Amino acid sequence: MKTIRDFDLNDKKVLIRCDFNVPMKDGKIVDNTRIIGALPTIQYAIDHNAKVILLSHLGRIKEEADLAKNDLSSVAEELAELLKKDILFSEKTRGEELEATIDSMQDGDVLLIQNTRYEDLDGKKESKNDPELGRYWASLGDLFVNDAFGTIHRAHASNVGIASNLDSCIGFLIEKELNALSILDNPEHPFVVIMGGAKVADKIGVIENLVTKADKILIGGGMAFTFLKAKNIEIGKSLLDEENIDFCKKMLERYADKIELPIDVAVTNEYTNDEKYRTKSVDNISNDEMGLDIGPETVEKYEKILATARVVIWNGPLGVYEFDKYKKGTDDILKFIVDNNIKTILGGGDIVAAASNAGLKDKVYHASTGGGATLEYLEGKKLPGLEAIK
Ligand code: AMP
């Protein structure tokens, strides 16, 4: 796939789709990680004398009241500070004023256009990939660079729409994600998958896609209890995904040698961090108990398997990591992977947050930032944002 390096940017109007969908509180940016992640591509375009035009969505726009909450102007201010240069900001997502601003730009200038989802107020034009809108935005530039990994699983006007109408390529952020994730297309063996998180339902596609490639799948988190239930083990008040017991049964029958389940768990009586907990063998869970973390014997069992792994993909925490008492299983395994330098990709969302809380995120081989996009990649699905560029 073409990257920004493959084009001459000199004096060109370069549209870059960024992911500035940052957490906001009272109009202020709470965490600027995503903005920092976008800087290498933006800086490269500046250094190569492009006129840099940035687009991004922020939050959801369903009604008039959502506009002010999701105004991108504070991102422009943050960008100015990070890039140490003035940033132009267009309040409008289209029209003469925006076009005049672009016409006035000098090489190396940077313009941020208002939240692309402002266009959703009138018939979801951005989110439904209105063809006229994609064509219009494409008409503003000479080249399109998609660097918003978090939205490549969606066909929006600001990614697929523009890419369908203009020379297109990916930026450094997407390139880095794809380089890391593509290791899983043809992984070195032993290839071990760690699956945790809450519901089996959300992970069926990932399990089905990876189980054929993996040598082992280590199950933890809330979803482990539906697998245990499928083996007729009593799980008390633990999380159960009733509708998917049959799916788990089928997996356990077909891949008996691959799927590993917890042998002990931390149980308690209420879903809180305040109650006392006990560690029990999975055969001993009482009716009034729920399992909120994997136990130390399971950690040991999983570490033995991981010790020989060449590649690991991990999606979903192994316990309720948001509670101090139940983050131990996840943290122990994270630490083991880091200490033993095991090539591990953390597959988005909560497991990346857990690694970040444990101060280990930057020590793993790759922490994928994509959330839904990462999951769909792991499911083996085609990603519209990339297909449009190919
Ligand atoms: P997911 O988004 O599917 O990866 O799920 C992440 C969520 O799973 C986190 O909020 C965890 O608290 C939750 N989780 C992990 N283990 C358990 C468990 N044993 N019981 C209930 N929820 C859990």
Q: What is the pLDDT of residues 349-381, one digit of tens each?
A: 799 999 999 999 999 999 998 888 998 998 999
* Cβ of 319 below 6 Å from ligand 1: yes
Q: Is 111 helix (H, G, I), strand (E, B) or coil?
A: strand
Average pLDDT estimate for 162-184: 96
User: Ligand 1 atom closest to Cα of 225?
Assistant: 19
What is the pLDDT at residue 62? 96
- In the residue annotation, 196 being an active-site residue is answered as no
- In the residue annotation, 34 being an active-site residue is answered as yes
| pLDDT above 90 for 199 | no
Indicate whether 158 and 197 sit together in one domain: no
Indicate whether 251 and 138 sit together in one domain: no
| CATH at residue 271 | 3.40.50.1260
Of 229, 239, 327, best ligand 1 pocket probe by most atoms within 8 Å of the beta carbon: 239
Indicate whether 170 and 191 sit together in one domain: no
E-state strands within the chain: 13-17, 24-25, 28-29, 51-55, 88-90, 110-113, 143-146, 168-170, 191-195, 216-219, 259-260, 264-268, 278-281, 290-294, 311-315, 344-347, 366-368
* Cβ of 204 below 6 Å from ligand 1: no
- Report percent pLDDT > 90 for the chain: 94
Nearest CA to ligand 1 atom 6: 197
* Cβ of 245 below 6 Å from ligand 1: no
Q: In the listed set 146, 174, 202, which residue is the last one of a domain according to the structure?
A: 174
* Cβ of 202 below 6 Å from ligand 1: yes
Indicate whether 228 and 269 sit together in one domain: yes
Indicate whether 166 and 228 sit together in one domain: no
- Report percent pLDDT > 70 for the chain: 100
What is the pLDDT at residue 67? 95
Decide if 387 is inside a domain: no
Are 83 and 42 contacting, i.e. CB atoms less than 8 angstroms apart?
Answer: yes
* Cβ of 161 below 6 Å from ligand 1: no
Q: How far apart are CA 167 and CA 2, in angstroms?
A: 10
CA of 133 to the centre of ligand 1 (A): 39
| pLDDT above 80 for 121 | yes
Domain span at 358 = 186-379
Round the average pLDDT of the chain to a whole number and report it: 96
Decide if 373 is inside a domain: yes
Decide if 147 is inside a domain: yes
Q: Name the residue with tokens 């630490």.
A: 335
**Number of domains the chain is built from:** 2
pTM, whole model, 2 decimals?
Answer: 0.89
Decide if 109 is inside a domain: yes
Decide if 204 is inside a domain: yes
Are 213 and 188 contacting, i.e. CB atoms less than 8 angstroms apart?
Answer: no
pLDDT tier, 385 (very low <50, low <70, confident <90, very high otherwise): very high
| pLDDT above 80 for 282 | yes
- In the residue annotation, 199 being an active-site residue is answered as yes
Average pLDDT estimate for 246-266: 97
| pLDDT above 90 for 202 | no
| pLDDT above 90 for 88 | yes
Q: In the listed set 153, 174, 195, which residue is the last one of a domain according to the structure?
A: 174
What is the pLDDT at residue 349? 76
CA of 190 to the centre of ligand 1 (A): 26
- In the residue annotation, 349 being an active-site residue is answered as yes
Average pLDDT estimate for 83-99: 98
Indicate whether 88 and 198 sit together in one domain: no
Average pLDDT estimate for 66-95: 97
